Amino acid sequence: MEQPLAPYSVCNLAAVNLASVADKGNKKVDFEKLKQTVETGVRLQDNVIDATPYFLEPNKKQALGERRVGLGVMGLHDLLIYCETEYGSPEGNQLVDSIFETIATTAYRTSIELAKEKGSFPFLVGVTEAETNQLRHNFINTGYMKKMPEDIRENILKYGIRNSHLLTVAPTGSTGTMVGVSTGLEPYFSFSYYRSGRLGKFIEVKAEIVQEYLDNHPEADPNNLPKWFVSAMELAPEAHADTQCVIQRWVDSSISKTVNAPRGYAVEQVEGVYRRLYNGGAKGGTVYVDGSRDSQVLTLKAENNNFDEEDETGTQGNKPHVVLMDTIQELEKTNVTIGSEVGDTCPVCRKGTVEDIGGCNTCTNCNAQLKCGL
């Protein structure tokens, strides 16, 4: 979960399209444009708090009392590609650190300016001046704020701050796909893949940035793109985790990030990733092992998705490529109804039927538990 909240708390989310702040000609980040975009985003979201109709009085009290906003991102991988920098590499993480430092410090400086104009969030204002000063001291001495630049901490003591929280990186799955950029802070799952929709359809999605690159580089081989076109399943799980931890340093709330692991990833290996996230300062994390569920929203062919397999030359085998989900082809041969499990052929073993046994939808043949109501 990317947004822990207090009782009756709410948070309005927005996302900066990082692809839009790329200086494509110089293969750099336009940091001035990034700052301007963040400033606008914070002011917009602060206004949304006042414009929102609250149906429950406790929601209204909490929202207006803390004035929490969650500014996030989409298009991070696009920006790195435009900068010809590989996601998850040391150089990539160094650039990511600079990007999110700019986002965080700009957001906080903007909120301080808003406090000068409109006042601090009410929960930071005490009955007396001494109480207010104590609240501000407590605020700047939290673990996150201790890492912020000294001018920000000093100005919060002097002027207060408009919003209790400012940053949250939500998934932006639908909006990022709609805009045509990578979603949230994730790398592209693949540059051509199949996505399941709400109606059970499987739609092929191709990343626009690949065609843009090929149009600008007609000499390029579309089957052998530069290394900065790395996909989520080509990255080691540790690289996913390390990038998340770099970003977490600059996010005051939490972030949505999936650590993609190959099929066959052991329980001990998954534990190692969670320990890596914890030791790196992440507030949460998700590890998804490919093929661990009988159906998944984004799909890769399993036999080409294993970091441990090597070919005869001693190197990793073919890079994973995307196909229409094998499960769907197999389901067509059975009486399984997609979206309904009980009484149908087991989608795991294709032999038994799935029945409600002891509160769980369980296969009568392989005993796979597909859904529990407990």
pLDDT in tens, 9-29: 998 999 999 999 999 999 999
Beta strand extents in 28-169 (DSSP E only): 28-29, 69-74
pLDDT band, residue 335 (cuts 50/70/90): low
Sign of CA dihedral 104, 28, 190, 245: negative
pLDDT band, residue 364 (cuts 50/70/90): confident
Distances (CA, A) of 129 to 23, 157, 193, 284, 320: 47, 12, 58, 37, 61
Q: Which amino acid is at 244?
A: Q
What is the Cα–Cα distance from 311 to 164, expressed in whole angstroms?
53
H/E stretch holding 137? helix 129-140
Beta strand extents in 27-142 (DSSP E only): 28-29, 69-74
pLDDT at residue number 336: 53
Those residues whose C-beta lies under 8 Å from the C-beta of residue 65, and which sit 6 or more positions away, are 121, 122, 123
H/E stretch holding 97? helix 90-118
Asked if pLDDT for residue 320 goes beyond 50, the answer is no
Those residues whose C-beta lies under 8 Å from the C-beta of residue 328, and which sit 6 or more positions away, are 202, 338
pLDDT at residue number 2: 63
Average pLDDT, the chain: 85
Sign of CA dihedral 235, 237, 238, 239: positive
Q: 258 pairs with which residues across the strands?
A: 286
DSSP state of 292: S
pLDDT band, residue 97 (cuts 50/70/90): very high
pLDDT at residue number 255: 92
Q: Are 273 and 259 in contact (CB under 8 A)?
A: yes
Sign of CA dihedral 318, 323, 325, 327: negative
Asked if pLDDT for residue 108 goes beyond 90, the answer is yes
Q: Are 354 and 342 in contact (CB under 8 A)?
A: yes
pLDDT at residue number 297: 54
* Count of other CB atoms within 10 angstroms of residue 158: 11
What is the Cα–Cα distance from 252 to 250, expressed in whole angstroms?
6
Q: The tokens 């999936």 sit on which residue?
A: 258
